[in-house]
C-alpha cells in the first residue's frame, strides 16, 4: 500500500483534467500510419503536427530499403552490448560517418538519445571533485545524467550566459572538472541557445561544454550541423550529443568530440555498456538518412519554408508564441483547462499536436507544441491553419463572454 500512495495526488489531478476532456491526450494510439504526416486515429485520418520528424524521412524509400536489407543480412537484433558482441561493422561505420559529417575526430553510438546524454554526463563528471552546471530548462535526460553521475549539480538561468558566468565564478578552487550542459534548440518552446556566448563563458573558466543538438541536428546551420554551426563555433564544442530519433528518423543516439579521451566512455559509461546496441535496421535507417541529409539541402529548405508559413499564420491569428520562426511553434494557453479544451478541438479538426502542461514545461506554462516537417504538404498546412483559425475564434468568443 505504502508503495503507491505517492502517485495518488497526481493521479487524482489527472483524473480531474481528463474528466472534462473528450479524449485522453496522453494515450493517443496511432492506429495506422499513412505516411510521415498522416495517421488514422479512431477511424479518422489526422495530420501529424506534433512529432519530431523535422526532415520527414521516416518513409524515405532508400532508408526503408536499407533497413529491410539490414534485417535480412544481419538479423532483427544484436542481443548484446556495444562492449561485448553488439558492435557490428555498421555501428562502427555510422560512428565514422557522423564524426565526418559533424567535423569531429571521435564519435560513440548509443542505443537512444536519452542514453547518450545519460552515458556521457554520468561518465564524464564524478563526485566529489567535479561539478556539472546545467541550463534550468535542460531535458530530463540531462537532469538524469547528473543524478546518475552523483556529482554536485548547479542550475543556471535558461539561455543566460551571465547567470552561468556568476555560478562558475563562485566555484571553490578545489573543483577539478567543470562540465556545462546546454541544448541547441529546446524541444518544448523551440527557443534557441546563444551557443557562442556559452562557449566563451565556459572556456573562460576552464570548463568543458556539452551541447545537446537533439532537436537542431539536421535543421540548423548551412550543412545541418546544428545551432553551433549557425553560431560559427562548432569546432569549439567539447562534447556534441544527438539522437537518431528526430531528423535521422530512426532510434539511437551519439556523442561526438575532438577530445581523444572520449574513447574512455566505452569502458566507463554504464548506459553504453549495460544495454543492447541498436538493431541493424535502426543503424541502417539512420546511416541512410544521414547520407541523404549530407547530400541534399532541399528538405531543410522546405522545413524552414513551412515553419515560416505557420509562424506567420499563427502570429496573424493573434496567438502568443513561445519563440521566433523555427521547426517548433508552441502556442501559450491561459491554463491547463484551456489547453486541454484547445487540444481536443484541434483533434476534432483533424490535427494532432503535443499538449504539454506543468511540471513538464518551463515557467509553469500550458502549451500546445506544434512541430513542422519538411514532409508537410500544402494541403497538410492548410488543414493546420484552418484548425487554428477555428481555435482562435473560439478563444476570442470565450474571452468576450467572460
Partner 1 sequence: MTAIQEDDDLVFHKISSLLGPLNEKGVKLTRDTDIIADLEIDSVSLLDVVMDIEDNYDISIPVNTISEIKTIGELVDAIHKIKKEQS
Instruction: Specify whether the CB–CB gap between 36 and 228 falls below 8 A.
Output: no
Query: Which stretch in 50-58, 150-158, 232-240, 243-251 sits in contact with partner 1 by CB under 8 A?
Result: 150-158
- Closer CB to partner 1, residue 149 or residue 288? 149
Residues 198 and 221: their CA atoms lie apart, in Å, by 17
180 lines the binding site for partner 1 (CB under 8 A): no
Given its phi and psi angles, is residue 320 left (phi above 0), alpha (psi -120 to 50 degrees) or beta?
A: beta
- Closer CB to partner 1, residue 13 or residue 73? 13
- Closer CB to partner 1, residue 75 or residue 358? 358
- Closer CB to partner 1, residue 85 or residue 335? 335
| Binding residue for partner 1, selected from 20, 136, 312, 396, defined by CB under 8 A | 136
Instruction: Provide the grid cell at 297.
Output: 539541402
Instruction: Provide the grid cell at 160.
Output: 543566460
Query: Which stretch in 202-210, 295-303, 306-314, 356-364 sits in contact with partner 1 by CB under 8 A?
Result: 356-364
Number of helices and strands (H, E) in the chain? Answer: 13, 14
Q: How many residues does the chain have?
A: 402
The position carrying cell 534485417 is 71
359 lines the binding site for partner 1 (CB under 8 A): yes
154 lines the binding site for partner 1 (CB under 8 A): yes
- Closer CB to partner 1, residue 93 or residue 363? 363
Tally of CB atoms within 10 A around 228: 26
Instruction: Specify whether the CB–CB gap between 344 and 22 falls below 8 A.
Output: yes
CB neighbour list of residue 124: distance below 8 Å, 6 or more residues apart: 130, 149, 177, 179, 208, 210, 239, 265
- Closer CB to partner 1, residue 47 or residue 164? 164
200 lines the binding site for partner 1 (CB under 8 A): no
The pairing of beta strand 328-333 with beta strand 38-41: unpaired
Residues 393 and 152: their CA atoms lie apart, in Å, by 49
Query: Which stretch in 18-26, 170-178, 190-198, 256-264 sits in contact with partner 1 by CB under 8 A?
Result: 170-178
Smallest distance from partner 1 to CB 171, Å: 8
In 3-state terms, what secondary structure has residue 101?
helix
Size of the site for partner 1 (CB under 8 A): 19
Query: Which stretch in 53-61, 106-114, 359-367, 387-395 sits in contact with partner 1 by CB under 8 A?
Result: 359-367
| Binding residue for partner 1, selected from 97, 130, 152, 337, defined by CB under 8 A | 152
| Binding residue for partner 1, selected from 48, 49, 125, 146, defined by CB under 8 A | 146
- Closer CB to partner 1, residue 136 or residue 394? 136
CA torsion, points 204, 205, 208, 214, in degrees to nearest 10?
-70
Residues 188 and 323: their CA atoms lie apart, in Å, by 10
| Binding residue for partner 1, selected from 364, 382, 393, 394, defined by CB under 8 A | 364
Residues 266 and 287: their CA atoms lie apart, in Å, by 21
- Closer CB to partner 1, residue 172 or residue 295? 172
Instruction: Specify whether the CB–CB gap between 64 and 33 falls below 8 A.
Output: no
157 lines the binding site for partner 1 (CB under 8 A): yes
Smallest distance from partner 1 to CB 329, Å: 23
153 lines the binding site for partner 1 (CB under 8 A): yes
Give the residues lining the site for partner 1 (CB under 8 A).
Answer: 136, 143, 146, 150, 152-155, 157, 163, 166-167, 170-172, 358-359, 363-364
Amino acid at each position: 500500500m505504502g508503495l503507491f500512495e505517492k502517485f495518488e495526488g497526481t493521479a487524482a489531478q489527472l483524473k480531474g483534467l481528463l474528466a472534462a476532456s473528450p479524449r485522453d491526450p496522453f494515450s493517443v494510439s496511432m492506429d495506422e500510419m499513412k505516411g510521415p504526416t498522416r495517421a488514422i486515429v479512431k477511424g479518422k485520418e489526422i495530420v501529424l503536427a506534433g512529432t519530431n520528424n523535422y526532415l520527414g524521412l521516416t518513409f524515405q524509400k532508400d532508408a526503408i530499403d536499407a533497413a529491410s536489407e539490414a534485417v535480412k543480412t544481419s538479423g532483427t537484433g544484436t542481443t548484446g552490448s556495444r562492449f561485448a558482441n553488439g558492435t557490428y561493422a555498421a555501428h562502427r561505420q555510422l560512428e565514422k560517418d557522423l564524426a565526418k559529417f559533424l567535423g569531429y575526430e571521435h564519435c560513440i553510438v548509443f542505443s537512444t538519445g536519452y542514453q547518450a546524454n545519460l552515458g556521457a554526463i554520468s561518465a564524464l563528471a564524478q563526485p566529489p571533485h567535479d561539478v556539472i552546471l546545467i541550463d534550468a530548462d535542460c531535458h530530463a535526460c540531462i537532469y538524469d545524467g547528473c543524478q546518475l553521475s552523483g556529482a554536485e549539480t548547479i542550475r543556471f538561468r535558461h539561455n543566460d550566459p551571465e547567470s552561468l558566468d556568476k555560478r562558475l565564478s563562485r566555484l571553490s578552487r578545489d573543483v577539478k572538472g567543470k562540465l556545462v550542459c546546454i541544448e541547441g534548440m529546446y524541444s518544448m518552446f523551440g527557443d534557441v541557445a546563444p551557443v557562442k556566448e556559452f562557449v566563451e563563458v565556459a572556456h573562460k573558466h576552464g570548463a568543458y561544454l556539452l551541447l545537446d543538438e537533439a532537436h537542431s541536428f539536421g535543421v540548423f546551420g548551412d550543412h545541418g550541423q546544428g545551432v553551433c554551426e549557425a553560431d560559427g563555433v562548432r569546432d569549439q564544442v567539447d562534447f556534441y550529443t544527438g539522437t537518431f530519433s528526430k531528423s535521422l528518423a530512426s532510434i539511437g543516439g551519439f556523442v561526438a568530440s575532438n577530445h581523444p579521451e572520449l574513447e574512455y566512455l566505452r569502458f566507463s559509461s554504464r548506459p553504453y555498456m549495460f544495454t543492447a546496441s541498436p538493431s541493424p535496421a535502426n543503424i541502417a535507417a539512420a546511416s541512410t538518412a544521414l547520407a541523404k541529409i549530407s547530400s541534399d539541402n532541399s528538405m531543410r529548405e522546405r522545413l524552414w519554408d513551412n515553419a515560416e508559413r505557420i509562424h506567420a499564420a499563427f502570429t496573424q491569428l493573434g496567438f502568443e508564441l513561445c519563440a521566433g520562426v523555427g521547426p517548433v511553434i508552441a502556442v501559450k494557453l491561459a491554463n491547463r483547462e484551456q489547453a486541454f479544451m484547445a487540444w481536443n478541438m484541434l483533434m476534432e479538426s483533424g490535427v494532432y499536436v503535443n499538449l504539454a502542461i506543468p511540471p513538464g514545461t518551463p515557467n509553469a506554462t500550458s502549451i500546445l507544441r506544434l512541430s513542422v516537417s519538411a514532409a508537410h504538404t500544402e494541403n497538410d498546412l492548410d488543414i493546420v491553419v484552418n484548425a487554428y483559425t477555428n481555435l482562435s475564434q473560439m478563444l476570442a468568443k470565450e474571452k468576450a463572454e467572460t
